[in-house]
Chains A and B, each alone.
Chain A
């Protein structure tokens, strides 16, 4: 079912873009853009929920109930729920969209790996999965035109982990993985809302995430097909642009310590 609903359609969209463009790396970037556009409403909602939560936590009412019921967890939870309902806030509103994007990341990666097919055995699934009607749209999307897919993009083979070999060095430099880590770090920092209280759980969690996420994605990019790294870099850059377009980018976060800031996020958008 996962294959039918996620991996096969993703693979076919990717192949269709490849058929039109003729470059697999550019196809990954364009598909990333498509995914980002398609999930933009979810992301906008996530930003909105995050901002509302942030405002709520900075409010006097919230601080009062924290203090008042600090020894009665059950009552505190009831009061928190009441405030959520009153203000129309979904406490999971900011993390649910992230969870929805997770299957997209996994499905997209599997689509890349399938489309590139590093072995004959992997190619069996690719050949079976290509929608026959694609070639009715353009002859460039026929089986004979699509196979083999040229997985070379710039200096890298998108089906293999990427390393730049420098003469004299005994090991390759994982340039793409480093860019993934950097762009992830920048994106996390730019899009993080400064907390009202730097010592609260959310602030600590955000700080941890801004370090953990780049490290996690660095590890993936180091070990998996470089097509995933191209997707992650494109996704990070497009994500930053999306936040910027919504006026939610905190440029000062990159140069200061957001955990120590007590001013609310600068809002230039709606």
Chain B
């Protein structure tokens, strides 16, 4: 009898473990990074960590006489998990949505106290970072709607853009808002009303947000087609097919466009003429390149799925690299003052900061 019960219990536990092993809830994604120059906000699973940019130390708050790490939420809450880069608003506010399978709220949080100022209850997980523009928060949601809120949390409008969850962040040129969807569409919207000014079918899934420079949207699809589209009209300027799928946002500097691809388990990193789409040079990588690159004045930095942080000069020659063996990096590197910050997954460090020569400045591990 006891043996039978034990057998059933063991079977139950094994099945639970096996079913949970491959992508069962809670669904996970790569971390999100944003900065205001003084602080870095890291959305990584159960918390949004708030870290001092210069030192990499987690800020603390004295709440009711108790000093605790400044993170949101202050205490673990099973209904919250965060992966989208928070949008930073005036008055020390940041806005971020929960991607938990049990809690689907968008939160506006006071960064100095990690206290909720307002929240909006959604119906699906929030995986894309919101955009703040003209005192309006544009938040792409898991229910396929793009929501617009003012800074007090009042909803201005909501527009259904997809039957699927919205996974890409909106961008703006200071006039309109642009948003891409997984069901192949690129939209130009009036920020005041949400009205569609133009839309374009790019014929494949889009996950990386567009880069918007000098009135041109540069955007890639999972089929590896990189498009240059006029922001004002939606007219296609050029399209170039690269090897592998494009998952990140391209980087642009001095007329050259940089983007990596996912080519099976490997990757390719391309430099293209932004005016014509002609490939100037490319470089093979052992690991897939999911995130967009960070393009600086004298170097380009990108990360690979095999945990490599790779710096190249503008001609494509390697400058420096670092490797997080057995770890993966999917989050785009972030420039914070003069430092390059990366967020590896599965590492003991949630963030690592480098100077521009590749020397480590600090690492960040959350306090227990």
Contact = CB atoms under 8 A, between A and B. Distances in A.
A100 interface: no
B345 to A, nearest CB: 9
B167 A118 contact: no
Interface residues of B, number: 48
B16 A220 contact: yes
A19 to B, nearest CB: 15
Interface in B105-138: 124-125, 127
Given A113-B23, A114-B23, A123 B4 contact: no
Given A119-B99, A121-B330, A220 B262 contact: no
Contacts of B305: 124
Interface in B246-267: 247, 262, 264-265
A101 to B, nearest CB: 12
B24 A224 contact: yes
Interface stretch (B201-209, B296-304, B347-355): B201-209
B82 to A, nearest CB: 12
B99 A127 contact: no
A119 B247 CA distance: 13
Nearest to B168: A120
Interface stretch (B26-34, B35-43, B231-239, B356-364): B26-34
Main secondary structure of the interface of B (DSSP, over half): loop
B24 A113 contact: yes
B223 A150 contact: no
Contacts of B8: 208-209, 212
Nearest to B19: A109
Contact of A122 (B27, B162, B205, B222): B27
Interface string B70-101: 00000000000001000000000000000101
B63 to A, nearest CB: 29
Contacts of B207: 120, 123
Contact of A114 (B21, B22, B182, B205): B22
A170 interface: no
Nearest to A98: B11
Nearest to B17: A106
A106 B30 contact: no
Interface in A99-133: 102, 105-106, 109-110, 113-114, 118-125, 127-128
Nearest to A122: B23
Interface string A129-161: 000000000000001100110101000010011
Given A113-B22, A144-B205, A204-B1, 7 more contacts: A106-B15, A109-B19, A110-B23, A118-B25, A122-B23, A124-B247, A124-B290
Interface of A: 7, 102, 105-106, 109-110, 113-114, 118-125, 127-128, 143-144, 147-148, 150, 152, 157, 160-161, 201, 204-205, 208-209, 212, 216, 220, 223-225, 228
